[in-house]
Structure 1
Amino acid sequence: MNTGANVTIRVGTIAECIAISKQIPEFMQGNYEEKTYEERLFNTRFLILVAIAHQTPVGFKIGYQRDNDGSFYTWLGGVLPAYRKLQIAQKLADQQETWAKEQGFNAIVLKTRNRFRPMLIFALKNGYCIELVEPKAEIEDYRIILRKKLVT
């Protein structure tokens, strides 16, 4: 799918996601190994999307069916800093949402932390509602669980 600005969204691989995540500052405190991705995605419905700009992978979004409540869990994603003004995160989220609806999911759930304010703002602007806050030792590490209904 061509999304303009020479950016294409396509199905990707775990290896591509790992390579992109190693270049994203927010993930520098801890990248997941390939085994973690495989464990999360094993024996479940999942979608891996990768954004390509000028033949270079510049962003990704991974989600999977985590709970048996009809929701799709959007687990991990990011865009390289140099490409963040091109609406790539929005395009990845839109494609994931379209796929989730087509697959019969009734909601998308995500978890973020207080320290990742751009992600929290992005979720709220995209129609997610805060469902639960999990306190941690530091307020910046509080987990915020959000849900967006796909069926009205």
Structure 2
Amino acid sequence: MCLLAIEDEEIIGFKIGYTHPDGVFYSWLGGVHEKKRGQGIASQLMKRQHEHLHSLGFKKIRTYGRNERKAMLITNIKHGFDIVSTFVDKKDQHKIVFEKILE
């Protein structure tokens, strides 16, 4: 799934994800143009993604975060995600695993 935020025919934000082999939807990547941050665009993309996934019958969504990206960590928590675990990836980066039950 790929969602785009478009303003004046320019892409200003995106959200990409896919179904993980365990059946949970994995929200993989997202971003907002740096000049457009702080306007709620990421929150709107997340809300629409979750609504659409719920309508498709998904029960849970998962995403990973890094401590260096505090704004995204806060956005995830603000939108109902729980921290369920952490791990260190192959690049030796600490990752935080977030999950949310879709209702």
Q: Return the structure number with greater relative CO, CA threshold 8 A, min gap 6.
A: 2
Structure 1 alignment gaps of length 5 or more: 1-46
Q: Please give the per-residue CA displacement for 1:81-116, whole angstroms capped at 9, x wherever unaligned.
A: 111122110110011001110110001100011111
* 1:67 CA drift (Å): 2.7
Tell me the equivalent position of 2:84.
131
- The TM-score normalised by the length of structure 2 is 0.91
Pairing 1:81-120 to 2, within 5 Å after superposition: 81-120=34-73
Tell me the amino acid that sits aligned with residue 2 of structure 2. Answer: I
User: What CA distance in whole angstroms lies between the structure 2 residues aligned with 1:54 and 1:84?
Assistant: 16
Does 1:66 pair with 2:20?
Answer: yes
Tell me the equivalent position of 1:53.
7
Tell me the amino acid that sits aligned with residue 49 of structure 1. Answer: L
Tell me the amino acid that sits aligned with residue 7 of structure 2. Answer: A
- The TM-score normalised by the length of structure 1 is 0.63
User: What CA distance in whole angstroms lies between the structure 2 residues aligned with 1:82 and 1:135?
Assistant: 31
Task: Give the count of matched residue pairs.
Answer: 103
User: What CA distance in whole angstroms lies between the structure 2 residues aligned with 1:118 and 1:86?
Assistant: 13
* 1:135 CA drift (Å): 3.6
Tell me the equivalent position of 1:147.
99
Q: Name which one, 1 or 2, has greater alpha-carbon Rg.
A: 1
